[in-house]
Structure 1
Amino acid sequence: RMQSGKHPLEALIRLTNNMSSSLKHTNVLDKLPEDTLQWKMKLMKRAAQYANCRLQSVTAEVLLLASCDDNLLPSKSEAYRLQNKIPKSKIFFFEKHGHSLLLEHGVHVSSIIKCAGLYRHSRRYHRVFDYIPPSTTELKEVDKASIDLLFRTCPAMFSTLEDGTVVRGLAGVPEDGPVLLVGNHMLLGIELISLAAEFMRHKKVVVRGIAHPLLFPKKTKTWSEGHDFFDFLNLWGGVPMTYKYIYELLAAGEFVLLYPGGYREALHCKGEEHRIFWPEQTEFVRMAAQCNATIVPFGVVGEDDIVNLLCTFDGIRSAPFGKEIMRAYSKHLNLRDAKHEVIF
Structure 2
Amino acid sequence: IEDLSRRDFTINAMAYNVENGLFDPFGGKEDLEKRLIKTVGNAEERFEEDYLRILRAVRFSTEYKFSIEENTFKAGRKYAHNIINVSEERIREEFFKILLSDTPSNGIIILEKMGILNIILKELVDTIGFDQKNPNHEKELYEHILCVLDNVEPILNLRLAALFHDIGKVHTQVLDKEGIGHYYNHDKIGAKMAEDILKRFKVPNELIRKTTILILEHMNHHNEFSEKGLKRLIRRVGEDEIFNLFSLQKADIKCSNKSASIDHIIGREKKVKYILENKEVININQLNINGNDLIEMGFKEGKIIGETLNHLLDRVMEEPELNKKEILKDLAREYCKLC
TM bin, normalised by shorter chain, reads under 0.3
TM-score, reference length from structure 2: 0.24
Tell me which of the two structures has the higher relative contact order, counting C-alpha pairs closer than 8 angstroms and 6 or more residues apart.
1
Higher helix share: 2
